[in-house]
């Protein structure tokens, strides 16, 4: 059922909140062992909260999301809950405060069931880089669910939550929504507060909903959107009527169709499916307008320079000293002492230039503190996080900053300008959400570049800071779902919700 249908049944007394929560608990207990979407649950707290909210329903004071059982991506702070970002380095860390989005959900009586699996620190396109193991696609357990919000998408697709929150840095809500056959909404940068969201790339990260329907996504956005003085990138612009846009869509919209998004690399069946939907929308009154986005072809390269640079900076704080995983100090000191003894023995036996070389090695030997930093981070971070830290550190280093980071910032502005020009002619721009359906688990682990290319259609929206939505567009002949994406100018979420609902009416 949708949020509004559930709310109506709860308000009428046909369903109790306890029955709703018990339904999802049963679903999680039976399915999560195979899908691995949830990494932590608190069923007792959820049932207790259901009793509290039921009393508010009975006396007529319930909030907008009373009856909505939700899961939260394990990168968003919840007071008293583990906040691990699916990383060993934070495996025992417990949040001491609520993110703004959590406060707003609770204020409207949403019931939070548990914490959802993800790629470590939101870095990945398949949800295979998790300290908790990979998430499985509910449609085929041999396939990935997409990433990094794979747990959030899989939980909705498998009916283990009515709706969930994910985060989107380069497509991490929309791409898994496509692979799992659900709706995924990325708001405009600054539309939803990032306070309490653990940072991956601070100028890209967005919190948004995944849901069964466009209207459900709109209802969650209506609650979590809005200015927050605790986030200095939060916009003071008033939010629009998102629910109305989803309920009463305007069919006479202008849809920009960029040739660059329908060329080489796109699965032919997905291409034909989306073209068929666009033809139907055109027959109903929509206008299809060719648009040019000349710089989006540089999107992948630009994103992976800028995002990794920000990741390198943000993750520097995880050193094993202030918080997070710390390597065994005694073991580390034993290793250091053994290395020092071995080098001193070599020094005694060496002669001439060899003696000088050994002396240099002794001089370079890390201090105990530096060794502790290195060992803690080596043990705590997974392979994809290490790869991105190293890449980000490289592009920020002396001699390479201007050649890579500085140039990428200029290209980012060109991409933003491309979209600004296009939106002077159209309401939304359409594309596939991903070039293929979900791929086999493990099939791209040895080729990270191929994995990065799965975000080719989603990344540019994050570079431009605009909003986007992925809506189920059909089922491939291989039995897996695929999505269609619409993006609109900054703070024009009503336009992508409108377009998404038009597709939903055609496909459902």
Three-state secondary structure of 113-173: EEEECCCHHHCCCCCCCCCCCCCCECCECCECCCCCCHHHHHHHHCCCCCEEEEEECCCCC
Tell me what the pLDDT averaged over the chain comes to. Answer: 95
Among the ranges given (155-164, 188-197, 323-332, 466-475), the one the predictor scored with the smallest mean pLDDT: 323-332
* pLDDT for the residue numbered 489: 98
SS3 410: helix
Cβ-defined contacts of 477-480 (< 8 Å, 24+) = 477/269, 478/437, 479/139, 479/140, 480/137, 480/139, 480/140, 480/143, 480/179, 480/181, 480/437, 480/438
Q: What is the mean pLDDT of residues 182-186?
A: 98
Residue 133 has pLDDT above 80, yes or no: yes
The length of the chain in residues reads 508
Annotated active-site residue 148? The verdict is yes
Q: Binning pLDDT at 50, 70 and 90, where does residue 453 land?
A: confident
CA angle 277, 282, 283 (to 5 degrees): 100
Give residue-wise pLDDT tens across range 253-275: 999 999 999 998 999 999 999 99
Phi, psi values for residue 484, rounded to 5° = -115, 140
* pLDDT for the residue numbered 333: 83
User: Considering the chain, what percentage of its residues have pLDDT values greater than 70?
Assistant: 100
Residue 148 has pLDDT above 80, yes or no: yes
* pLDDT for the residue numbered 331: 85
* pLDDT for the residue numbered 336: 82
Please give the model's pTM, rounded to 2 decimal places. Answer: 0.94
Closest to 135 in 3D by CA, of 166, 113, 162, 105: 166
Q: Looking at per-residue confidence, does 195 or 454 come out higher?
A: 195
Q: Which of 167, 172, 193, 235 is catalytic?
A: 172
User: Considering the chain, what percentage of its residues have pLDDT values greater than 90?
Assistant: 86
* pLDDT for the residue numbered 299: 96
Distance in angstroms between the alpha carbons of the first and the last residue of the chain: 14
* pLDDT for the residue numbered 422: 98
Residue 508 has pLDDT above 80, yes or no: no
Q: What is the mean pLDDT of residues 232-238?
A: 97
* pLDDT for the residue numbered 475: 98
Give residue-wise pLDDT tens across range 60-106: 999 999 989 999 999 999 999 999 999 999 998 999 999 999 999 99
Q: Which of 73, 136, 375, 495 is catalytic?
A: 73
Name the residue ranges covered by the structural domains of the chain.
3-303+415-507, 304-407
Q: What is the CA radius of gyration of the chain?
A: 24
Residue 231 has pLDDT above 90, yes or no: yes
Distance CA 230, CA 458 (A): 28
Among the ranges given (331-335, 423-427, 456-460, 472-476), the one the predictor scored with the smallest mean pLDDT: 331-335
Among the ranges given (18-27, 102-111, 168-177, 397-406), the one the predictor scored with the smallest mean pLDDT: 397-406
* pLDDT for the residue numbered 460: 97
Residue with tokens 């001699």: 399
Three-state secondary structure of 230-293: CCCCCCCCCCCCHHHHHHCCCCCCEEEEEHHHCCCCCCHHHHHHHHHHHHHHHHCCCEEEEECC
Residue 477 has pLDDT above 90, yes or no: yes
Residue 249 has pLDDT above 80, yes or no: yes
Q: Which of 87, 125, 148, 234 is catalytic?
A: 148
Residue 150 has pLDDT above 90, yes or no: yes
Q: What is the mean pLDDT of residues 170-179?
A: 98
Quick one: CA torsion of 361, 376, 305, 170, rounded to 10 degrees?
Answer: 170
Can you identify the CATH homologous superfamily of domain 3-303+415-507? Amidase signature (AS) domain (3.90.1300.10)
Q: Binning pLDDT at 50, 70 and 90, where does residue 466 land?
A: very high
Annotated active-site residue 172? The verdict is yes
* pLDDT for the residue numbered 332: 82
* pLDDT for the residue numbered 439: 97
Q: What is the mean pLDDT of residues 42-69?
A: 95
CA angle 92, 97, 103 (to 5 degrees): 130
Annotated active-site residue 276? The verdict is no
Residue 403 has pLDDT above 80, yes or no: yes
Q: Looking at per-residue confidence, does 399 or 107 come out higher?
A: 107
Distance CA 498, CA 248 (A): 8
- 357-373 burial, b for 16+ CB within 10 Å, e for fewer? ebeeeeeeeeeeeebbb
- Tell me how crowded residue 231 is: count the other CB atoms within 10 A of its CB: 17
Question: Which token pair is 219?
Answer: 């209802």
Among the ranges given (327-341, 375-389, 393-407), the one the predictor scored with the smallest mean pLDDT: 327-341
């Amino acid at each position: 059922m949708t949020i509004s249908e559930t709310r109506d049944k709860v308000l009428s007394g046909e369903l109790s909140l306890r029955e709703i929560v018990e339904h999802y608990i049963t679903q999680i207990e039976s399915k999560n062992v195979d899908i691995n979407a949830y990494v932590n649950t608190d069923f007792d707290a959820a049932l207790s909260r259901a009793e509290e909210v039921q009393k508010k329903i009975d006396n007529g004071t319930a909030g907008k999301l009373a009856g909505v059982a939700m899961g939260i991506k394990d990168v968003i702070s919840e007071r008293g809950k583990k906040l691990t970002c699916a990383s060993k380095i934070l495996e025992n860390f417990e949040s001491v405060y609520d993110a703004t989005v959590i406060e707003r959900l609770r204020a409207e009586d949403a019931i939070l069931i548990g914490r959802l699996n993800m790629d470590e620190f939101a870095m990945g396109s398949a949800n295979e880089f998790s300290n908790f193991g990979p998430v499985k696609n509910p449609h085929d357990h041999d396939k990935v669910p997409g990433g990094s919000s794979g747990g959030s998408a899989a939980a909705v697709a498998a009916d283990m939550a009515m709706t969930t929150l994910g985060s989107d840095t380069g497509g991490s809500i929309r791409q898994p929504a496509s692979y799992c056959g659900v709706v995924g909404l990325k708001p405009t940068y600054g539309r939803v507060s990032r306070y309490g969201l653990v940072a991956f790339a601070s100028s890209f990260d967005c919190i948004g909903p995944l849901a069964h329907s466009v209207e459900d996504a709109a209802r969650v956005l209506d609650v979590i959107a809005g200015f927050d003085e605790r986030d200095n990138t939060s916009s003071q612009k008033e939010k629009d009527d998102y629910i109305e846009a989803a309920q009463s869509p305007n069919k006479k919209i202008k849809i920009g169709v960029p040739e660059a998004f329908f060329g080489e690399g796109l699965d032919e069946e997905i291409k034909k499916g989306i073209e068929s939907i666009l033809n139907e929308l055109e027959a109903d009154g929509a206008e299809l307008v060719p648009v040019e986005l000349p710089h989006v072809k540089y999107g992948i390269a630009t994103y992976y320079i800028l995002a990794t640079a920000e990741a390198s900076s943000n993750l520097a704080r995880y050193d094993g000293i202030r918080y997070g995983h710390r390597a065994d100090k005694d073991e580390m000191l034993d290793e250091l002492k053994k290395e020092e003894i071995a080098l001193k023995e070599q020094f005694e036996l060496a002669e001439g230039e060899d003696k000088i070389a050994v002396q240099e090695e002794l001089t370079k030997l890390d201090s105990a503190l530096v060794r502790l930093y290195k060992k803690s981070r080596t043990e705590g971070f997974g392979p994809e996080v290490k790869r991105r830290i190293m890449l980000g550190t490289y592009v920020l280093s002396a001699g390479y900053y201007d050649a890579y980071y500085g140039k990428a910032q200029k290209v980012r502005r060109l991409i933003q300008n491309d979209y600004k020009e296009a939106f002077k002619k159209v309401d939304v721009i359409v594309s596939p959400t991903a070039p293929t359906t979900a791929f086999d688990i493990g099939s791209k682990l040895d080729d990270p570049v191929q994995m990065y290319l799965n975000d080719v259609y989603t990344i540019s929206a994050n570079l431009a800071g605009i909003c986007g939505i992925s809506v189920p567009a059909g089922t491939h002949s291989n039995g897996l779902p695929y999505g269609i994406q619409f993006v609109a100018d900054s703070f024009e979420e009503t336009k992508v919700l409108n377009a998404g609902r038009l597709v939903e009416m055609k496909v459902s």
